[in-house]
């Protein structure tokens, strides 16, 4: 797996924030402000999970202080958290797709991104998509993914996450055509 590309791809869709924010409104979490979505920090790290609490605490960080919106992560901490989250997503993807390492880079990229974004448990319910991926029928896998609620929720228009993952999975577009140029 190309971890550099995976990191760029995930950060492109999730964004990067040093502080805890509401993933529905994009607003910083503040005491007394009602939460609409999921509390999130860094690059798409859902603070409502035990994994986030254990991981941030394991990094020597004060989870409660960060989750309250009062604290902030530095760049190295965001990178470390993302690295751990992507390793978790990769492990989940390999559990669903034991041949993952044999797939081309585009397919690995999308499968790990799907696992990162929705979690292995939700991805496991995409039976037709999974069957097509396991058969390495990338066109059918992209059709099945495009027929999901997830696709519509994360963006079914060009250069939105759903559209981009479907088109990269089906080899209809190269990820480099979507990602901004590196500086």
pLDDT digits 0-9 by tens, 6-18: 999 999 999 999 9
The reply to whether 73 and 117 lie within a common domain is no
pLDDT at position 1 is: 86
Q: Is 183 part of any domain?
A: no
pLDDT at position 32 is: 86
The reply to whether 131 and 72 lie within a common domain is no
Contact 7, 86 (CB under 8 A): yes
pLDDT at position 13 is: 95
Total count of residues recorded for the chain = 183
pLDDT at position 159 is: 86
Which residues have CB under 8 Å from 150's CB, separation 6+? 117, 118, 122, 126, 162
The reply to whether 65 and 136 lie within a common domain is no
Domain limits for position 142:
98-177
pLDDT at position 112 is: 98
pLDDT average per 10 residues of sequence, the chain (183 residues)? 94 96 92 91 96 97 94 97 97 97 97 96 97 97 96 91 96 92 78
The reply to whether 102 and 173 lie within a common domain is yes
Question: How many folded domains does the chain comprise?
Answer: 2
Nearest to 28 by CA among 66, 55, 54: 66
The reply to whether 104 and 71 lie within a common domain is no
Q: Is 146 part of any domain?
A: yes
The reply to whether 13 and 59 lie within a common domain is yes
Q: Is 87 part of any domain?
A: no
Other beta carbons less than 10 A from residue 156's beta carbon? 13
The reply to whether 76 and 109 lie within a common domain is no
pLDDT at position 31 is: 85
The reply to whether 121 and 173 lie within a common domain is yes
Q: Is 88 part of any domain?
A: no
């Amino acid at each position: 797996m190309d971890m550099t590309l995976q990191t760029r791809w995930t950060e492109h869709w999730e964004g990067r924030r040093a502080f805890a924010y509401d993933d529905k409104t994009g607003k910083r979490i503040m005491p007394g402000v009602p939460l609409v979505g999921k509390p999130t920090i860094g690059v798409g790290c859902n603070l409502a999970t035990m994994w986030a609490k254990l991981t941030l605490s394991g990094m020597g960080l004060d989870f409660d202080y960060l989750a309250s919106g009062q604290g902030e992560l530095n760049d190295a901490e965001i990178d470390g958290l993302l690295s751990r989250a992507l390793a978790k997503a990769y492990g989940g993807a390999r559990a669903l797709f034991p041949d993952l390492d044999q797939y081309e880079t585009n397919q690995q990229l999308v499968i790990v991104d799907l696992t990162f974004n929705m979690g292995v448990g939700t991805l496991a319910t995409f039976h037709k998509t999974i069957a097509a991926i396991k058969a390495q029928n990338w066109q059918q896998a992209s059709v099945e993914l495009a027929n999901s609620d997830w696709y519509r929720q994360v963006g079914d228009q060009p250069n939105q996450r759903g559209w981009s993952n479907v088109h990269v999975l089906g080899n209809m577009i190269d990820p480099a055509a979507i990602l901004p140029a590196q500086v």
